[in-house]
């Protein structure tokens, strides 16, 4: 339970910050999805089970913040967390650029699944904002992932020192 605490606090903080981002931060009509960024960063640093659990919580928080499509948010975020956990265990080690590109395609997959359940009429606008969101999420995930890995490394060192 302790390992979920930091991620849940991070998701709540991300939801608060995301709700207060100025519209001048928009890139190609999109603002970063900080809840998704925190979800991907924590899921990349952990295993698929952790990612799916945090994804469920992220979907619940995101759906409550938006107020619509709660089920779609929960399903897409749970799947994204699970796949991010699979990516971390299968595809890479400690290369710092890979989380950025992983976040981009995971954002594309997550938002694509969300759009399947909740189609939008203006396809051009959707593609443009999705491109902006992928770029933003990739950059922010690189930063958050580095912080999460640092915290995990520091925690493991403390645990090893406690055993001595």
Query: What domains are defined for the chain?
Result: 2-158 (1.10.1760)
For the ranges 21-30, 79-88, 143-152, the lowest mean pLDDT is seen at 21-30
Phi, psi of 27, rounded to the nearest 5 degrees: -120, 115
Q: Percent of the chain, pLDDT > 70?
A: 95
Q: Which two tokens stand for residue 50?
A: 């952790």
pLDDT of residue 26: 80
| β partners of residue 30 | 27
Distance CA 84, CA 135 (A): 17
- Tokens 């499509």 found at: 69
CA dist., res. 92 & res. 145, Å (int):
13
What is the spatial distance between Cα 14 and Cα 71, in angstroms, rounded to a whole number?
20
Note the pLDDT tens digit of each residue in 95-126.
778 888 888 999 999 998 888 888 888 888 88
Q: Chain-wide mean pLDDT for the chain?
A: 86
């Amino acid at each position: 339970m302790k390992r979920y605490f930091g991620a849940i606090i991070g998701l709540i903080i991300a939801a608060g910050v995301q709700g207060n981002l100025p519209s001048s931060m928009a890139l190609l009509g999109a603002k970063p999805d900080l809840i998704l960024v925190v979800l991907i960063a924590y899921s990349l640093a952990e295993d698929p089970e952790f990612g799916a659990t945090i994804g469920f919580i992220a979907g619940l928080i995101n759906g409550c913040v938006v107020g619509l499509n709660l089920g779609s948010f929960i399903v897409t975020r749970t799947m994204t967390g699970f796949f991010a956990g699979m990516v971390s265990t299968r595809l890479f080690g400690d290369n710092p650029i890979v989380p950025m590109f992983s976040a981009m395609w995971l954002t594309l997959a997550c938002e694509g699944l969300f759009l399947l359940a909740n189609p939008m009429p203006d396809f051009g606008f959707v593609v443009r904002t999705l491109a902006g969101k992928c770029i933003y999420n990739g950059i922010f995930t690189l930063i958050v992932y580095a912080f999460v890995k640092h915290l995990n490394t520091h925690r493991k060192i403390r645990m090893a020192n406690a055993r001595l």
